Amino acid sequence: MGRKAGITIQDIVDTAAAIADRDGLAAATLSAVSVELGIKTPSLYNHVAGLAGLRRHLALYAAGKLTEAFAAATNGLEPGEAIRSAAFAYRSFAAEHPGLYAALLPAPTQDEDPELYRAMGSPVEVVAAKLAVLGMGEDQAIHLIRALRALLHGFADLEAKRGFGMPIDLETSFRRAVDLMIDSLATSST
């Protein structure tokens, strides 16, 4: 059986993303994608370099989607509010797209995959641009972004795995954690 007419790399990535978000990243296999697309698995090799290639495409797609979410969340906002809004966008992205979120790890080095490295740096650039408005240098901004990401990833991961068992409002906890980070901007930018 030859290529099914009309199947594109975007069709493959969209299908894999839907499977990953629905069933987990590990479920987004070449076999699962081919079944959903109604094609034979070997046909996917016309578009992707095996499972590793599919995962790379998912990571590129996820980085683009997260960048779009950050850009939409921060557009027109002052730095502090932009960082707060990006934090909420991050949490929403992780909850709404758990498979794509998982595809963002591990992050490659520039030597391993320059294109993916740049794509994964795009969401960081959105936040770094807001921090630059505060006069923060690149190194200082990266340290702060790493701290913020660690906080957000930890919270999102615990929330997804139902790690918060106490009957205390999670929204309040999240807001307070983000507020602590935003408050640190005042001291970090001086």
pLDDT in tens, 19-72: 999 999 999 999 999 999 999 999 999 999 999 999 999 999 999 999 999 999
Q: Does one domain contain both 158 and 121?
A: yes
**Count of CB atoms within 10 A of residue 56's CB?**
19
**pLDDT (0 to 100) of residue 186:** 66
pTM for the full model? 0.90
Q: Is residue 55 part of a domain?
A: no
**pLDDT (0 to 100) of residue 138:** 87
Q: Is residue 58 part of a domain?
A: no
Instruction: Report CA 125 to chain centroid distance, whole Å.
Output: 13
Structure tokens that stand for 98 in this block: 């758990």
With cut-offs at 50, 70 and 90, classify the pLDDT of residue 2.
very low
Residues 6+ apart with CB under 8 A from 13: 57, 58, 61
**pLDDT (0 to 100) of residue 134:** 84
Least confident of 55-69, 134-148, 167-181: 134-148
**pLDDT (0 to 100) of residue 189:** 58
CATH of the domain at 17: 1.10.10.60
Q: Is residue 57 part of a domain?
A: no
Q: Does one domain contain both 77 and 163?
A: yes
Structural domain range at position 41: 1-48
DSSP string, 14-76: HHHHHHHHHH-GGG--HHHHHHHHTS-GGGGGGTSSHHHHHHHHHHHHHHHHHHHHHHHHHTT
Within 13 Å and on the Cβ side, how many CA atoms surround 82? 23
Q: Is residue 11 part of a domain?
A: yes
Q: Does one domain contain both 16 and 84?
A: no
Residues 128-145 have a mean pLDDT of 89
Residue 67: which of 98, 104, 16 has the closest Cα? 104
How many folded domains does the chain comprise?
2
